[in-house]
Amino acid sequence: MGVGVGTDSESAADGSSSPRCCCPLYHEAVELVGRRWTGAIIRVLMDGPMRFSEIAQAVPELSDRLLSERMKELEARGIVDRTVHSGPPVRVEYALSRMGAELGPALFELQRWARRWLGDHVAAL
């Protein structure tokens, strides 16, 4: 039996419920965070602001091209703030915005779930 996460249900006039359907906003959020490497990028930024090279080191196997693409997407969606610090040398830092930081509890729960349910599977590989 499901818990109804991410579903919308409407009550009909006779009291019965119509079939549940996936909430479009829930679907959009899952697709956004679930894009390849995006969840990992957000997770490492939860530890505080980082430069591009630091994010690249913290998320192994992620190419610079794809990291750049994801950072631009996250900035455009308002999840990441990009700050340029002037003066030699110029430094660019990325940090979670307020909206991005509010993903914290959900992603920590996902991490806890993964450790519980996927840990044995990962160890067996």
Q: Express each pLDDT in 22-48 by its tens digit.
A: 899 999 999 999 999 999 999 999 999
CATH number at residue 72: 1.10.10.10
CB 93 within 8 A of CB 87: no
Boundaries of domain holding 59: 21-124
- 16 is a domain residue: no
Residue 10: the pLDDT is: 46
Q: Is 49 part of any domain?
A: yes
Total domains in the chain come to 1
Query: What is the per-residue pLDDT for 20?
Result: 82
Predicted pLDDT at 93: 97
* pLDDT per residue as tens digits for the range 66-81: 999 999 999 999 999 9
Min mean pLDDT across 1-5, 76-80, 103-107 is at: 1-5
DSSP letters spanning 11-46: B-TTSPBPPPEE-HHHHHHHHHHTSTTHHHHHHHHT
Residue 52 lies in a domain: yes
Measured from the Cβ of residue 84, the count of other Cβ atoms closer than 10 Å reads 8
37 found inside a domain: yes
Residue 12 inside a domain? The answer is no
